[in-house]
Amino acid sequence: MTSRTGAAPRIDLHTHSTASDGTLTPAELVRAAAQAGLDVLAITDHDTTAGWAPAVGALPPGLRLVRGAELSCRWSGTEPAVPLHLLAYLFDPDHPELVAELARVRAAREDRGERIVALLRADGIDVSWPDILAGAGGGTVGRPHIAQALIRVGLVGSTREAFGPDWLGERYRLPKDDIDVFRAIRLVRSAGGVPVFAHPRATRRGRVVPDELIAELAAAGLAGLEADHEDHSPAERAHVRALAADLGLLVTGSSDFHGTHKTVQLGEFSTGVEAYERIVAEGVTEVASG
C-alpha cells in the first residue's frame, strides 16, 4: 500500500468523535482526517460503534476508515483494580454478547458520572448532571464532559486542569464498572476483531499494569500494543516497543485525537503500514473506502 502521493501512507488508528468524548462529529472527523493528509483513519470512540455509520456516510475520496472502538477495561489482579483501555478494530458490531457488554459499560459510565456530580454538589459545586448528559449529546459520557461543566462554572480553565489531582484526576475520581480485560479480549476475538492495548505505559494517567500481565494478555489473544502516544515518555515508548518485539505483538502509534478536548492533532503520531496490514488481515470487517 502507498499513499496517494506515493510517499509512505499516513495512518492514525485511534481517534474520538462526538459519539463519545471528542468534539468533532463523525462526519467532521473523517473530513478533518482527509484535510490533514491522512490515508487511513480509525474511529475508536469509547464503548460504542454509534459513530461508524455517519463516518462511513461522509468518507471523503481516498480516505480509508478502520471501524473500531476503545473498550473500558480493568485488571483485577491488584486491589484496587487497574483501569485500562483496549482498542478493538474491525469487529462485527452486531455480535450480541459484545453489544450487550458495551451497553452495560455505557450505563456504568452514566452511573459513575452521576455519582461524581453528587460528590461535587455535596461540596457546594454547582454542576448539573442533566446539563452534563445533554452536553454529551447522546454520545458515550465521560469525565471530559464533566470537565466542560467545571469550565462553565469557572472553577478550572481547561480540560487538562480539570484532570488535576484536586478535581477529576484524584479527589473526584471514582471507578466505573469496567469489563474484565481477559473477557474483553475473548469477546473482541469472538466478534472477529483485533484487540490492541491502548497507551499501556501511560504512567502520567495513573497506575499501569506489569509486563507479566501483558504477556498473559498476549497469550489470551491480544494482537498489539500502542507505543507512540502523547501520554508515553520516550523511555516508555521504547519499553513498549521492546516488549512487543519480545511477545511477537504488533506496534501502533496514534494521536488519540479528541478535537478541542485535547491539544494533540490528527496524525501527530502514526502507525506503520506493516502493523496496519496485519490488523486488516486479522479483522472480520472490511476497511471502508471513500
Contact residues for ligand AMP, defined by CB under 6 A: 21, 46, 142-144, 159-160, 163, 205, 258, 261-262
- Find the binder of Zn ion among 10, 12, 19, 21 (CB under 5 A): 21
Q: Which residue is nearest to Fe ion (CB)?
A: 85
Amino acid letter at 31? R
Residue 256 interacts with Fe ion (CB under 5 A)?
yes
Place of cell 456530580: 117
Closest contact distance (angstroms) between CB of 205 and ligand AMP is: 6
Closest contact distance (angstroms) between CB of 202 and Fe ion is: 8
Nearer to Fe ion, 120 or 201 (CB): 201
3-state secondary structure 36-50: CCCCEEEEEEECCCC
For Zn ion (CB under 5 A), the number of binding residues is 1
Nearer to Zn ion, 54 or 259 (CB): 259
Nearer to Fe ion, 129 or 197 (CB): 197
Selected range binding Fe ion among 47-55, 85-93, 220-228, 238-246, rule: CB under 5 A? 85-93
Closest contact distance (angstroms) between CB of 72 and ligand AMP is: 6
Of Zn ion, ligand AMP, Fe ion, none, which one does residue 198 interact with (CB within 5 to 8 Å by kind)?
Fe ion
Q: How far is CA 258 from CA 4, 168, 231, in A?
A: 26, 17, 14
The answer to whether 267 and 10 are in contact (CB under 8 A) is yes
Of 70, 58, 12, the C-alpha closest to 39 is 12
Nearer to ligand AMP, 57 or 164 (CB): 164
Nearest-angstrom CA–CA distance, 210 and 205:
15
Nearer to Zn ion, 70 or 101 (CB): 70
Selected range binding Fe ion among 4-12, 78-86, 224-232, 274-282, rule: CB under 5 A? 78-86
Residue 198 interacts with Fe ion (CB under 5 A)?
yes
Closest contact distance (angstroms) between CB of 254 and Fe ion is: 8
Question: Residue 85 is inside which H or E element, if any?
Answer: strand 82-89
The answer to whether 145 and 117 are in contact (CB under 8 A) is no
DSSP 225-284: EEEE-TTS-HHHHHHHHHHHHHHT-EEEE---BBTBTSS--TTSS---HHHHHHHHHH-S
Of ligand AMP, Fe ion, Zn ion, none, which one does residue 232 interact with (CB within 5 to 8 Å by kind)?
none
DSSP 87-102: EEES--TT-HHHHHHH
Interacting residues toward Zn ion by CB under 5 A: 21
Interacting residues toward Fe ion by CB under 5 A: 70, 85, 198, 256
